[in-house]
Amino acid sequence: MRCPHLTTSGKRCKKTISPGFSGCDKHKDEKTLYDDLGGIFAISLVVDHFSDALLKNSLVGRDSKNPHLKDWSRNHLDRLPGLKFMRTLWLASIAGGPYEFCSTKPGPAQFNLENPHAKFHITSEEFDAVAKELASSLDHFKIAKNIKDRVLEVFAEHKLEVISPK
CATH at residue 115: 1.10.490.10
Of all helices (H) and strands (E), which one includes residue 23? Answer: none
CA dist 120 and 90 (Å) reads: 19
DSSP 2: B
Domain assignment present for 157: yes
Q: How distant, in Å, are the alpha carbons of 9, 28, 66 from that of 81?
A: 38, 33, 22
Domain assignment present for 5: no
Domain assignment present for 24: no
**Per-residue pLDDT, 9:** 43
CA dist 49 and 110 (Å) reads: 25
Pick out the chain residues at pLDDT < 50: 8-10
pTM (2 d.p.) = 0.81
**Per-residue pLDDT, 158:** 87
Domain assignment present for 69: yes
Residue 65 belongs to what domain range? 37-162
Q: Count the domains in the chain.
A: 1
**Per-residue pLDDT, 83:** 94
CA dist 150 and 121 (Å) reads: 26
Domain assignment present for 73: yes
Of all helices (H) and strands (E), which one includes residue 120? Answer: none
Domain assignment present for 134: yes
**Per-residue pLDDT, 130:** 97
Domain assignment present for 17: no
3-state secondary structure of 107: coil
**CB-CB contact of 101 with 90 (8 Å):** yes
